[in-house]
Amino acid sequence: MVEKLDLNTPEYAQLEERIQQNQLLVQELNTQVHDAAAVRELVSQITGRPVDESTEIRLPFYTDCGVRIHLGKRVFINSNCMFTDLGTITLEDDALIGPNVTLATVNHRRNPAERRHLDLAPI
């Protein structure tokens, strides 16, 4: 299922505002020293939903959006991962993500006049 998100729409503007807020949290996450509980708390703020205490996220961790990430229980995300989650990323219980992984749910359109418009698909 592909969702379209066009530049200069109210939906895009709302998402862009949340992305700007989350980029500050991502910066804090990756530039400060945090214990595992603090990492989960910051990622909970980024995603807008609680991260289970059984989930472990190694830093650095990057996301372009954050609010479309859904994490189950006992999820392990290794270091230096990038989640391009505008199209939604769902990691169910017991998922393991290796180091240096990029999960991308966004494509830009081929037509140069629409290049900044997005086609989104969940994973």
Paired strand residues for 47: none
Boundaries of every domain in the chain: 3-120
pLDDT of residue 102: 98
pLDDT of residue 77: 98
pLDDT of residue 1: 63
Burial (Cβ within 10 Å: 0-12, 13-18, ≥19) of residue 37? exposed
Q: Look at residues 64, 116, 68, 114 and name the one whose alpha carbon lies nearest to residue 90.
A: 68
User: One digit per residue, pLDDT tens: the chain, 123 residues?
Assistant: 668 888 888 888 888 899 999 999 999 999 999 999 999 999 999 999 999 999 999 999 999 999 999 999 999 999 999 999 999 999 999 999 999 999 999 998 899 988 888 899 999
| DSSP code at position 113 | G
pLDDT of residue 96: 98
Name every residue whose Cβ is closer than 8 Å to that of residue 69 and which is 6 or more positions away in sequence. 46, 47, 63, 83, 85, 88, 89, 91
CATH number for the region 3-120 comes to 2.160.10.10
